[in-house]
Every structure is written in structure tokens, then in C-alpha cells.
Chain A
């Protein structure tokens, strides 16, 4: 019950922040939209005046799904680290940590509330993108399960960075690089087949690649969830997400203990 209450507290905090800093949230959303708009158009438009532009609605639909999943990854990977950094910076982390429970529950609450907020935003973004590029995408219910499993892996990566932030304080560039790795190497905007084989193998180790690939199977190839669930690909997908989640939890708990030994919860 107490753990649930901690999660509720963090949800409350995120919603107060979301309301207070709504302009920042909206402007970053508009910026994201323009980045995506640029990415899609640049990939379908030629600089050569003699060559005709070819707008491929299927590729665009693939990119919209990839982009939306990356939109969640963007927050899952970086938000926990940046919120820990902010708490350290303003000096309130110790008061929050004054609890019988690990900070991991606070972070779970923060992640869940951001997930709810981002889910609402992504619905708007989804419709705006479909209308802008004039494509129609139908999403089967099974995608939700795949999304949750993918998100669990991304959350693990977020916890890993949050733990490192407790000790090293500033990790901004590392989380930014990771976010762009996820955009480029997971098949979100560039098809995996276009990579050399060593990069393809590398991309399969990332926490979003297999999830996105299976989600696309369900959306574009009309494969049912139960058909996918028995495949080796699905097994590897679960193993990948579990790996990242476990690594995230273990690393965070270890580094939180280390931070409490060093007295690092109160220093920035």
C-alpha cells in the first residue's frame, strides 16, 4: 500500500509540473513534430532537380510508428536521469529519500505518470502525423502488450542512467547520444535492411529494435499477436526487455546504496 502511495505521490508531482510547465511541454512537442516532418520529407525528396520526388506512403507509415515509439523511448531513457539530476540540483532528493523504501519506487511513479501524459500526447501526434502525410494506420489491440514489454526494457535503460546520475550527477550528453542511437539504429526511421550486417546485429541488441519490428509485423503485415507470440523473435524480444529491465533495477539499487554510503544524495 505504501509503495502504491509513493507512486501516487510521484504521479501527483508530475501532473503539477506538467500543468505549471505546459508551455515548455507543448513547445518541445512542436519541435519534435518539425524534426519528424523534416526527417520524413528529407528521405523522400531529392536534391537533384532532374530526379522526381517519390513519396512512399508505406515507408512514411512505418516511420510514423517508429517515430511514435521513439517518442516514448526519448522520455523513458532520459527523464528519470534528468529528474534525479533536478532533485539533486535543487537539493530535495534527500528529503524524498527519507523513506523506508528505495528511490526506485519514486522513479516508477514518475515513469508511469509520464507514460500517461505521453500517451495522451502521442494520440494527438498520431492523428496530426496521419493527416499531415495523408496516410491511414490501424493499430490492433495486441500492439498494446508489445508496447508495454518494449517500454519495460526502455524503463530499465532509464533506471540504469538514473543510477549513474546519483553518482556522476551530469549525464546529459550520454542520454542524448543513446536517444539518437535509438532513433537511428532501431529501424524507427531507417530500415534495418539498409545497414551493413554488423550494424544490424548491433541494432538487435538495443531495447527497442525487436519490439518495434514485431509491432510493425502486427500493424502492416496483419499478423496476429498469438501468431507472433510463439516465435523465436518474440522470445528474444522478451529476453531483451527483461535483460534491460533487470540490469536497470540491479544497477540502480547498487548505485543508490553506493550513493548512500558516499553521502552523494545531498551533493550536486
Chain B
């Protein structure tokens, strides 16, 4: 399966404002891969997810499933999609998990018996078997999220869109969820597109990361390349504090982060952007004495901060 988005553009228009949520978004997603979409709030991540699953009609551009366009009349392709949408309820909180399974199975035209069996097996993997007769509203946020994900998998979607799927999950549940998503994508050759602000999760499970800013792709990278990239090195330099600190903000664009601690100042930067020698010279110019220099490979968060220009 090949999912392509070609020149997707979406502008939200109000009386006085025009906000470009997607700006000629073109990308090809392939089976068996997990794609992470990252960007600041309002970058267009949710708009992209909703456009791919037919909930938001783009102003221009199209989504293609193995070459078949979704808009205007290709909605039968939506059978291939399962989605967890951020900020909305994906299941009925007044229903029990089993009642939710029955409703959504019927909604998708599935065999009820087979769906319940499948749901029970997924619930078992998510440790949910004891809570199946409780109304969902009485369950924790993490459990609600797990039930929603289990239900989105009932019709065995070829494409799974997950908008902030690990929101509200404790680290253990988040970890189990990561493993399940990874297994689901790799064993069944699915396309999974995830948005999340928890970059460590994306780093662990994604094959490719797409950086989105104001609706446009500013870069995309394979995670393994990102990790093995020798050109990029992150340095953390600890210096003493002095009165020149205010002046140093004039060159803050060279750094990912400047953190003033109790006894020192930490400067974090990427050697690809500016060389270590230059930074050392600059710090010397500001009369800051070096306490320590630490060298590390960039994490996804570091790359994210660099790409977003923060």
C-alpha cells in the first residue's frame, strides 16, 4: 500500500484572519513504516491527520491510496483507515468497553462475534480484561486511550493515524503501547502516522520523522540516519556566571538552549550550526570561564529544537 499526499493545502478563514494550516504538503508513506509528525502547536499536524481521513476537505491537493484519489468521490478508501483523534472522545464514555466494541463493529460492518474475540485479545494485551463491564467514564485516562486504540484496530486498518496516542498514559502503559504499535506495523505491513509531543516515543518507534512548520514540511529524516549522523554533535558547555549574561542573548540564535542554573550557565549547541572553536572564542569574549564541556549525539528533541528555530 502506498499513501500519497500531493500538494495538500488548507487555509482556515475567519472574518479577519487567514491561517494556512497545510501548505503544499507532499509526502509518500509506505507500508511497514511508522511516520512521526512533529511540530509546534498549530503547525498543522492534526489538520494533516484529519485531511488524510476525510474529516477535513482540503482547499487544494489530494490524498491517494495506491493511486486512487480520496477527494471528491473516493471515500470508499476510508475503510482502510483507523484513527485516534486528539482532543476528542474516540469512544462512548457512557458505554462499557464491550458495548463500544459492538457499536463500532456494527458501524464498520464487521462480524460481531469475530470483533468481540479480536477485541478481547487486544484488551488482554493491554491488561484491560478486568474492566470490560464498567462504563468507560469510570476508567482512567490511560485505559480510555487503550480501549480507543483497541477499537480503532478492530477492522484491521491498513493505515493507522494516531494523533497524540500516548497522551495520559503512564510510562509503563506508554511503553506497552509503543511495543504494540511497533509490532502491529512491522508484522502486518501497516502504515502508521503518529503525531506526538513526546519526542522520545517517536524516536523509539518511528522509521521517519517529518518536521512541520506552519503547515509545510521543513525537513524529513530517517530516524536511523538521524541517530547515526556523525556530522551533528551536540555540545553542552558549562561556564561560570557574570554580568555579561544579558549581552550574550544577542547571540542566542546560535544555541538550542541557554539555561541559567544556580552555580553555572549551560549552553547547548549543535556543531553543525556553529563550530566548537567559535563558541569557545565567543564565551571567552564575554569573560565566561569554562567549567565543563560535554559531547553528545543529538536526540530527536535537539533536532526538533534546531528545526523549529527555537
Seen from chain A, the residues whose Cβ lies within 8 Å of a Cβ on chain B are: 1-2, 5-6, 8-9, 12-13, 16-17, 20, 90-92, 94-101, 106, 257, 260-261, 263, 265-266
Most interface-central of A1, A91, A99, A101 (chain B CB within 10 A): A99
Q: Which of chain B's residues have a CB closer than 8 A to the CB of A260?
A: 54-57
Q: How many A-B residue pairs have CB under 8 A?
A: 84
Segment at the interface with A among B25-33, B83-91, B198-206, B301-309: B83-91
Chain A, residue nearest B86 (CB): A266
Contact with A along B100-126 (1 / 0, CB 8 A): 001111111110000000000000000
Residues of B13-58 at the interface with A, using a CB-CB cut-off of 8 Å, are 47, 50, 53-57
Q: How far is the CA of A266 from the CA of B55 in the complex (A)?
A: 9
State which of B12, B53, B91, B109 has its C-beta within 8 Å of the C-beta of A98: B53
Chain A, residue nearest B104 (CB): A9
Contact: A92 with B78, CB < 8 Å?
Answer: no
Q: Which of chain A's residues have a CB closer than 8 A to the CB of B79?
A: 100
Q: How far is the CA of A202 from the CA of B221 in the complex (A)?
A: 67
Residues of B63-79 at the interface with A, using a CB-CB cut-off of 8 Å, are 75-79
Contact: A91 with B89, CB < 8 Å?
Answer: yes
Contact: B57 with A90, CB < 8 Å?
Answer: no
Contact: A5 with B88, CB < 8 Å?
Answer: no
Chain B, residue nearest A1 (CB): B109
State which of A1, A20, A99 has its C-beta within 8 Å of the C-beta of B94: A20
Interface assignment of B93: CB less than 8 Å from any CB of chain A: yes
Q: Which of chain A's residues have a CB closer than 8 A to the CB of B110?
A: 5
Contact: A5 with B107, CB < 8 Å?
Answer: yes
Seen from chain B, the residues whose Cβ lies within 8 Å of a Cβ on chain A are: 12, 47, 50, 53-57, 75-79, 81, 83, 85, 87-95, 99, 102-110
In the complex, the 4 A-B pairs of residues with the closest C-beta atoms, listed nearest first: A9-B106, A91-B88, A5-B109, A9-B107
Contact: B50 with A16, CB < 8 Å?
Answer: no
Contact: B89 with A100, CB < 8 Å?
Answer: no
> 13 A-B contacts, Cβ less than 8 Å apart?
A2-B109, A13-B103, A16-B99, A20-B94, A90-B93, A94-B88, A95-B88, A97-B55, A98-B53, A99-B108, A106-B107, A266-B85, A266-B88
Q: How far is the CA of A50 from the CA of B42 in the complex (A)?
A: 75
Chain B, residue nearest A8 (CB): B106
Contact: B54 with A92, CB < 8 Å?
Answer: no
Distance in Å: Cβ of B157 to nearest Cβ of chain A: 10
Distance in Å: Cβ of B163 to nearest Cβ of chain A: 10
Q: How far is the CA of A12 from the CA of B78 in the complex (A)?
A: 23
Q: Which of chain A's residues have a CB closer than 8 A to the CB of B78?
A: 98-100
Q: Which of chain A's residues have a CB closer than 8 A to the CB of B81?
A: 98
Q: Which of chain A's residues have a CB closer than 8 A to the CB of B93?
A: 90
State which of B57, B105, B108 has its C-beta within 8 Å of the C-beta of A257: B57
Chain B, residue nearest A261 (CB): B57
Q: Which of chain A's residues have a CB closer than 8 A to the CB of B106?
A: 5-6, 8-9, 12
Given A20-B94, A260-B55: A99 and B12 interface contact (C-beta under 8 Å): no
Q: Which of chain B's residues have a CB closer than 8 A to the CB of A16?
A: 94-95, 99, 103
State which of B12, B55, B92 has its C-beta within 8 Å of the C-beta of A94: B55
Chain A, residue nearest B12 (CB): A263
State which of A1, A13, A90, A263 has its C-beta within 8 Å of the C-beta of B55: A263
Contact: A90 with B109, CB < 8 Å?
Answer: no
Q: Which of chain A's residues have a CB closer than 8 A to the CB of B53?
A: 98
Q: How far is the CA of A154 from the CA of B90 in the complex (A)?
A: 31
Q: Which of chain A's residues have a CB closer than 8 A to the CB of B107?
A: 5-6, 9, 96, 99, 106
Q: Which of chain B's residues have a CB closer than 8 A to the CB of A101?
A: 75
Distance in Å: Cβ of B197 to nearest Cβ of chain A: 19
Chain B, residue nearest A11 (CB): B106
Distance in Å: Cβ of B48 to nearest Cβ of chain A: 12
